[in-house]
Structure formats: structure tokens, C-alpha cells
Amino acid sequence: MTRTLAFADREIFWPPADELTEAAERIRARLGDWPPVDEPWRICLTPPDAPRAGDLIVAAGEREHGADSADRAKWLAAGASVIDADEHGARLTTDKGRYALTGPLAEDWLAALASFLDCGSDARDALVLALAWRDGDEADAAREDAWPVDLTRFPRVEGLPAAPAQPFARCPDRLGLYAVMPSAPWVERVLDLGVSTVQLRVKDASPEALAAEIAESVAAGRRHGARVFINDHWREAIDAGAYGVHLGQEDIETADLAAIAVAGVRLGLSTHGYYEMLCALHFRPSYVAFGAVFPTATKTVATAPQGLARLARYVRLVDGAVPLVAIGGIDVAKLPAVLATGVGSAAVVSAITGADDPAAAVAALERIVANR
């Protein structure tokens, strides 16, 4: 057993709780071996006198332990987070926001929460996984590990806008090589090279230039019989008759998702963890993108690289529910391992735009996809 699988010399609960620690060790030992976690987290079963960064203070209700707004403000200012739990689910409050989940709590949910934190999940994702946990999952010897992969057992995110009444148009389960390109000329270039799924991601452009880029990209897609997605600019994508739109999590509440669905435009949503995955699935998108799988310099991502092991678990979780696209730091050398997880599609950016010979790079990438 490696250091990451034992809690004997680590303060994971405060005050110390031997039974919870023993349960956490049993669960943790069945989740696989993950890189050591250096974050100084601990789960506080009662509010500490001196809260610190990384503390998750567990309350049974909004005013449990006298946890009024002044107390909570003090804890959050110190870098701690608060978890309110009851028979309906759990709500996490951090300095970044409040995240509410509805679902049953297993008796061992706190032990499971500690275990998933130790596996490197952030507090939001660890709480999602803890609510997906069921007592005794660690004793199921028939499974390779006890990581939750049954989507029907996962909690529901509260407070999301209603999903459009009309479902989004479907995408193929496997979109193949998915090229994310910075301009219309690049879109045309990769389409000429045989790529059939392309996203136009323009970072800075005037409204007139943006409309022209989108119109040219959509027209090129039609000529090639290809799927062209437009990043972010959903109004312009609808006007141009684009095949699809790709949005980030921050766009979900501002974009008119119903208008996108009614227009017959496909919708792809970015996700960076379990909580965001649940948010995305609520809207029944055409596909979900997961990343960043590896470190990437093409886009600022707040979350740490997810890695292949997490990607494989996401594939098992959403299998059959929605097409999944892996993205972030994927190149010719990494693509075979990415596809070996079973993911239907892989998005690339600099593997093409940064190549000395883009045509040769596309050919190499397409060969890998074809021979998966």
C-alpha cells in the first residue's frame, strides 16, 4: 500500500475520528493508486477555533453549530469551505460560490469524501462522488475498483435553468479527429486535408470580421460535407446555419439554449470535472468535451490536467448517454493512449497549427484514428 492509500499519520478528520478514518482507508484502498496529494485539506466534523485553508467544515443545516452568516464569512475568509448536509443532499459553499446537490447520503459518505479528496478531486467533484457512493461499494470484489461509474446513482445539481423542451440535434457517437482551428483559412485548410469535424475558435475579432470568419467556415463545411462547430458565438452560428455550437460552462446561463435547439444546431459543452459534467448532462447536449486531459498552452484552464485515468472513468460514466470528446494537450504521440480509453473523439489544436508540416500532421493523426 502506497502513502496515498493510508491515513494513519495524517489528519484527515478534525476532531480525530478513528472509525471514519478506518472506513476511509477501506474505501481508499479500492479506488486505485493516484499521485500524492499535497493540498492541506481536512474534514472538520465541528467548526475549528482556527479555520484554515483547505478545511471543509461539515454542518447538518444552515444554522447548525451556531453557523450564522458571520461564522461562515469568517470561515470562508480563512480559506475554508462549508458543507451543509441533510436527508435531501449536500451543499458546498466556497469563496467561489455555492454548489448544491440533491441525492441520498450513504452512511459512509464522509469517509468516501475523504477518499476522493485524497485521489486529487477538488471539493466539488469529491462531494459529487461521495453522493454517488453506496455503503459496501468497496467490498464488491467483482469490480476492478470501486470508483462510481453508474450515472443513475449520481446526484442532481440544484438550481440549474430548465433544459430546452426540444432536445438538441444528435451528433455521431464518434466525431473522429476534431480539429479546433483559429481562423476560417485554417478551417478550410484542414477540411481540404480530409478532416470532417472542425471547430472555429476565434479569440479576438471585430463583429464584422467575426461574422465573415463564421460565414466562410460554415460555407467551407457545406462544400466538404463536414461538421463545423462555432465556439462561443451562438447567435452568429445560428444566422450562418452552422452545424453546431460549442460553449463553455460560463456560457450556459447566458446563451439562449432553447433558440439553439429550435434552430437545429448541435450543442457541445465543455467540462472539467464531475460537477461540471452533471451540469452539462442536465441540458442534454449533442456532445460533451472533457479536459484538459494533458497540460495545454492554447487555453487558460483553471483546473489541473485530468489525465488518462480520469478520462477512462468519464468514458465509462457517460457511455451511451452522450458522445464524449477528449481535449487538451493531445498530439500524435499521446493520441493512441487517449483513444485506448474508449473515448469517441479527440480534439487537437497545436498538434496541427504548431506543426512544421500541418498536412503530414493531419495524415498521421487521421491514421491513428482510423486504426484505433
191 a known binding residue?
no
251 a known binding residue?
yes
What is the DSSP code string of 101-157?
A: EES---TTHHHHHHHHHHTT--HHHHHHHHHH--TTGGG-TTSS------GGGS-EE
Q: How many alpha carbons fall within 13 Å on the CB side of residue 195?
A: 32
201 a known binding residue?
yes
299 a known binding residue?
yes
Distance CA 38, CA 28 (A): 16
371 a known binding residue?
no
Q: Which three cell numbers stand for residue 120?
A: 486529487
301 a known binding residue?
no
CB neighbours of 126 closer than 8 A, spacing ≥ 6?
Answer: 113, 116, 117, 119
Residue 169 DSSP one-character state: P
- Its sign, for the CA torsion 40, 46, 52, 53, is positive
CB neighbours of 222 closer than 8 A, spacing ≥ 6?
Answer: none
Strands 89-94 and 97-102: antiparallel
What is the DSSP code string of 17-28?
A: -HHHHHHHHHHH
Go through the chain and tell me how many residues it has. Answer: 372
68 a known binding residue?
no
89 a known binding residue?
no
270 a known binding residue?
yes
Least Cα distance to 350 among 174, 182, 175, 176 occurs for 182
Angstrom distances, CA of residue 75 to CA of 49, 66, 80, 87, 282: 10, 13, 5, 24, 31
**What φ, ψ does residue 310 adopt, rounded to 5°?**
-70, -40
160 a known binding residue?
no
200 a known binding residue?
yes
- The one-letter amino acid code at 186 reads W
Least Cα distance to 128 among 152, 150, 156 occurs for 156
199 a known binding residue?
yes
Residue linked to cell 455555492: 98
Strands 81-86 and 176-181: unpaired
Question: Annotated binding site, which residues?
Answer: 199-203, 231-232, 251, 270, 296-299, 329, 349-350
Question: Annotated binding site for Mg(2+), which residues?
Answer: 232, 251
